Amino acid sequence: MVSNLFMLYLGSMSYYIAVDVGGTQIRVASYQAEKLEPLRLIRRRTHSRENTPEETLKQAIKDAWPESKPVKAIGIASPGPIDLAAGTIIKAPNIPQWSHFPAVDFLEREFKVPVYLDNDANLAALGEWRYGAGKGHHDIVYITVSTGIGGGVIINDRLLHGVRGLAAELGHVTVDPNGPQCSCGQYGHLEAFSSGTAIARRAHERIQQGVNTELSKVAHPTARDVAEAAEKGDRLAMELLEDAGKHLGRAFADFLHIFNPSILILGGGVTLSGRYILEPIRNALSRYTMSPEYLEDLVITLAQLGDEPGLVGARVMAESATIG
| Interacting residue ranges for a second copy, rule: CB under 8 A | 81, 83, 90, 138-139, 155-156, 158, 160-170, 172-178, 182, 184-186, 250-251, 253-254, 257-262, 288, 290-291, 293-294, 297
State the minimum distance, in angstroms, from the CB of residue 287 to a second copy.
9
Distance between CA 281 and CA 222 in Å, rounded? 20
Q: How far is the CB of 277 from a second copy (least distance, A)?
A: 19
Distance (Å, rounded) from C-alpha 158 to C-alpha 76? Answer: 18
Based on CB atoms, which residue is closest to a second copy, 72 or 172? 172
Cα–Cα distance, 287 to 74 (Å, whole number)? 44
Smallest distance from a second copy to CB 290, Å = 4
Calculate the CA 307 to chain-centre distance. Answer: 10
* Residue (249 or 309) nearer to a second copy, CB: 249
Which of 231/254 has CB closer to a second copy? Answer: 254
Nearer to a second copy, 4 or 178 (CB): 178
Torsion from C-alpha of 155, 157, 162, 166, nearest 10 degrees: 100
Quick one: 38 or 280, whose CB is closer to a second copy? 280
CA 166 to chain CA centroid, Å, is 14
The secondary structure of residue 45, as a DSSP letter, is E
Q: Is 113 exposed, middle or buried (0-12, 13-18, 19+ CB in 10 A)?
A: middle
Q: Rounded to an integer, what is the distance from CA 304 to the centroid of its chain?
A: 12
* CB environment 223-255: b (16+ within 10 A), e (fewer): bebbbbbbeeebebbbbbbbbbbbbbbbbbbbb
- What minimum distance in Å lies between the beta carbon of 291 and a second copy? 7
Minimum separation from the CB atom of position 160 to a second copy (A): 6
Q: Which is nearer to a second copy, 178 or 208 (CB)?
A: 178
Q: State the minimum distance, in angstroms, from the CB of residue 157 to a second copy.
A: 12
